[in-house]
Structure 1
Amino acid sequence: MTDRESDENTAPLPVAVKSRGDTDAPTSLVPGAVIAGRYRLMAIVGAEDHVEFWQGTDTVTGSLVALSLVDVAGELPVERVNEILSRTSRLRGFDVRGVARILDVIQTGDLGVVVADWIPGGTLREVADTSPSPTAAAAALESLIVAAELARDAGVSLNISHPSRIRISTDGHAVLAYAATMPETTPQDDLRGIGGILYALLIGRWPPQEAMPSGWPPVDLEDAGWPKEPAAIDPSIPFLISIAAVGLLRHESGVGSASELLSLLRHGRPAVTPARPQDNSRLRIMPVLAPPPPGAYATFRNVDTAAQVMQARRQMMKTILVASAAIFFVAVMSLGSTLNRVLGDSDDVAALDADRLGLSPSSSAAAAPPSSPDSVGQTAAEASIVPVKAVVFSPGGSADNPQDVGKSIDGDPATAWSTDRYYDADPFPKFKQGLGLLLELPQPTVLSSLTIDLRSTGTFAEIRSAADENPKTLADTTELSPRTLLQPGPNRIELSTQTPVSTVLVWISTLGATDGNNRTEISEITLSTTARA
């Protein structure tokens, strides 16, 4: 039975009903209605021309979905609805952050339905109301710009034409959340839409159009009819970002492709140079110098002669001390080298080195005798375990940078795996429960410690084990160490277990910060075993 054949009086849930024969017939699309026998409407978030955008629920899986409903009023020819759905279907193979994954494209009766993954985060209006920084706004658009370029190469368009189509994800990416591609849309229209989104994030206004989106005031126009430059409204906006936003809204913007726009926005970000800290307690405001008498030399600062002499003596003493220390060091090293050469031919005499001369500190542990033969055997037998595989563990959310996860166990500290960059400094568990790295060991092993080398501050992590390599939730894992604050650099964590484990979870319960961004970056994870030789 189709939705059209359902009896409204006996159906347990309201069903979307629409009549095509009479243009004056009312259309019943209300929250709670079920379309295509599967998707329940929850709330409408916007509408454009012949498309409505709804948040919905998949009654089979229980997950949230984004629903684009085409021709709700039944005003379009069936051929045009089919063409819209056909063009939209070509986006189903797009695996990019800038486009929500399309789950299904359906034609039920006269109604076209595009079903996509729900993007957690906020609407464009909600994010614009937070007044994001210009550089953050430009960075948020990168994923959408890349998606537009891929669409152009594939011969299709994204149809970025309305603010309700866009959502900003929790990790700060602008995403086409509601896809429905009109036949007349071109790649240049997508660039113009991206310009509108950038302008909206910078100024909080939408470019004027025939039917203004609800909740968006139009941008202010210059005498020539063009939108005002954002930098003229807010001087803190970088010049290139401002030019990109206003230029894309003009018919001849000079930006011919998404790749050119991406390069322009990246060059528009100001370079951040850390200010050199100053000790205000040592600053002195000097009086203005009087003009020197004729024939005299002008001094650089108004410092009396006695002070100049004292300063010169201090500088000379520093130079003498440094030079003396260097000469002494070279002399002692030369003496050690000479003795080594003289005594080196005899196997019965130990060569002298810097440690024996007291020039290099030696560890007390090396000089101290072992406490027992057992402790010597245990230290000698301790070995590192190299995981055979690492995967990102993110229950209830998408994996962060899964393509880079192998860099956390590749033995190269110069490479690193990083979480996504989050707008919220404390996204766990508000946006997702947390995330971590699952490490699969070559065989079940008793571990003594785990070392995490990271470049972030403020990260809290705990070490857990799993019975198999595919735990579904955090409850399927067992704690091996309590929640620990990690410092930049290597962090050795002792593990309290005598049971062999085959899968280890490094669980990030609190996100840290790296280079001023809300993300955690791990360069290397190493494990040690307690097994004896």
Structure 2
Amino acid sequence: MRISASGDAVLAFPGTLADSDAQSDVRGLGAMLYALITARWPIRSGGLTGSAATVGGLRLADFGADGTPVEPRQIRPEVPFEISAVAVRSLESNKGVRTAATVQHVLEQASVVDQKTDFIPVLRLGQRAQHVPADESLADPELLAQERERSQRMMWIMVGLGILAALVVGVVIWWMVSVFAPGASDAPLDEQRNIGLTTNSTPAPAPAPGAVPSTPTGGVPVPVTGVTVFSPEGTPDGVNNVAAVLDNDPATVWRTDQYFQQFPALKKGVGLLATLPSPARLTNVSITSPSPGTSVEIRTSPTNSPTLDQTQLIGTAQLGDGVTEIPVQADQAARYVLVWITGLGTTGSQFQSAIADLRFDAAP
């Protein structure tokens, strides 16, 4: 056996003698383990007796009344129980450890359960170790079995905790992917955006001066002087093409961002705030949209930069494919009108709505 500068024990120049058998190999393992722990040789050879006798520079171990060497823990109390016991049991030819696999298994358990094995101080050749009274219970086979059972139980607990941690990490990763990972979309790749970010689009042409859409009977069309994106939670959606809702052209549309969860999971909603030339008492709102299933609320606002709580609900509807007429009941005239989207249309695995045109009608 050779001991490296880092303290590792290595079998050097291995060879098998003609009269060797499995039991003698195990006994040799036990003897080497005993010597590495105590710096004493535990096997008596012919003619070697007394405390002054040495083998390879190692003095002989102390032997008990039954003719077996004292346990390493009696010499070095800091040695773990499993290591001390297997060293002595390997030396017993009849009732001790009989296979090298058992020696390896016990040593592996001791290294996992009792990390104190990493801190046992090196005992140099010729150094005297402190002798302490023997503790007969340490050699009890029943105690050894209990310690082994405890070690196995600890190992299974660690395995269970590892599996539980892996499951938790897997669930978190699945949730993050389902919320944030982009899905299939017909939009160009350069138009894909994360949640809350706007989508780059080519600005829609401004409405023709004086263009006024047709109106149903019973109301007077009200022109719109301006429109902005109302998004109290996060970045406004599609600000570059918001003017498309005023050009009276169904081919040009304003779109919300693409969301991976329906409102109100990520935010309560998004809308368009229209400004009229003067306060008007609305009777009808017409919305042209290619996004059936979109839920909208029509609200009036006292200012051009309100909070949602400051607006007043005057009508609701679920948009169809094309033109949807929404009758409204306003208590008083208002100059600012909010089209508030509370539910998005579905596009594949994502949620998005579009509005092509808006028309407002007021009482004559």
Shorter-chain TM-score: which interval?
Answer: 0.3 to 0.5
TM-score by length of 1: 0.30
Greater RCO (CA < 8 Å, at least 6 residues apart): 2
TM-score by length of 2: 0.43
Structure number, greater radius of gyration: 2
